Amino acid sequence: MVPNAADLVRFSDEMDSSCDSVGIDVPESLLGKQKEEPIMGHDTRIAVDVAKAVFEVAISDRPGHVVRRERLTRDQFLPFIAQQPVATVVMEACGSSHHWARKIQDLGHPVVLLPPHQVRPYIRGNKTDRTDAKGILEASRNEEIHPVPIKSVAQQVLTSLHRLRSGWVAERTARLNAMRGLLRELGFFIPMGAEKVVPTLHALIEDAESELPDGLRNILYEACHEIRDIEARIKQTEAQLDATAHQIPAVALLRTVPGIGPLTSTALVAFLGNIQRFPSGRHLASYLGLTPREFSSGLKRRLGRISKRGDGYLRTLLIHGARSVLLHARKTQPDRLRLWAHKLEKTHVHNKAAVAVANKMARILWAVWSRQTPYGSLTKAA
């Protein structure tokens, strides 16, 4: 039976996004076999809320629908995933997630790690393991959320060395400041410089005629020994980083950039991984939090202080490297970067100039790393 003209007009005048075959609402008889085809393809995803002992698993075959839930122990998790058909496994990039991602990839499943702070808005109601798994599923279907690259074992070795070293540096600083404060209360003032604390303290302890109380001498001697022990650990970690750096070709390339030493180069390789995931140097600078925050509306564009997003440790290393470039800009044979940094320091406050130079260094690092070309060759080509 052919529908009348009034029915055709009524159906064709209304827009309906649910029918993506023709874009408008039409009678079912006019769609024919197209109506029988599924609107979306098969897209099975397995969301895993990772924990220390218990894993919450939610399996979805289409958006907004969970077909199966499981609560597994750590020993049951991998055997369960191995029994599932090939599907995308989605997790938050949290503690031990990189380890589980590598194990799951070995079983043949693609794995996606999502930034936890971008998953949180998708969790509705109370925060439980079930709602976390459902939120991970919903966040995984948002194409604007960029996944976190899965770190290799070699990368995690480097990151562990850097984390241990930074922790010991902070502990050493705390011990030195404590010694300074305690001695200041007793009328002993130590000159500026971390390297002067322990020798001065040793001299006070060994001087029998000093006014240092006898009840503190043995304890302060142990404190000096503890500081020396921490410094030995720091040097051992730096030696291990230097030995590992010789085995990574990218580290040698990055060290050709002014202000980049073994610490910064190994940290970049460890925390960033594949540089090709950044389309340009500006994306890398933005990822490191070295670009200004924007407060714009309408025709008014306002740029504020740097965003400080990303890893604060990497940003700190780059800014320290930029300070080194500014300090040696006059002494070393100038190139384009050092000349630009020297001119910038004349017109801006030192800290602002250092951040600007760090931003420039991040873009240079991207060019050196992505093109596999040393810094000297880039400047000659420019």
- Please report the pLDDT score of residue 380 as a whole number: 59
DSSP 273: -
CATH fold for the domain made of 45-140: Nucleotidyltransferase; domain 5 (3.30.420)
Q: Where are the domains of the chain?
A: 5-36, 45-140, 153-245, 250-293+304-381
Digit-coded pLDDT (tens) for 120-134: 999 988 889 999 999
Residues 120 and 135: beta-carbon distance below 8 Å: yes
Answer whether residue 9 shows pLDDT above 70.
no
Residues 6 or more apart whose CB falls under 8 angstroms from that of 273 comprise 149, 151, 152, 155
Tell me, what DSSP letter sits at residue 208?
Answer: T
Alpha-carbon distance 66 to 60, whole Å? 4
Say how far residue 83 (Cα) sits from the centre of its chain. 33
For residue 166, give the amino acid letter.
Answer: S
Q: What are phi and psi of 290, to 5 degrees?
A: -100, 10
The token duo for 179 is 């010694």
According to DSSP, the β-strands at 45-49 and 88-92 are parallel
- Residues 101-158 pLDDT 10s: 999 999 999 999 999 999 999 998 888 999 999 999 999 999 889 899 999 998 999 9
Residue type, 65: H
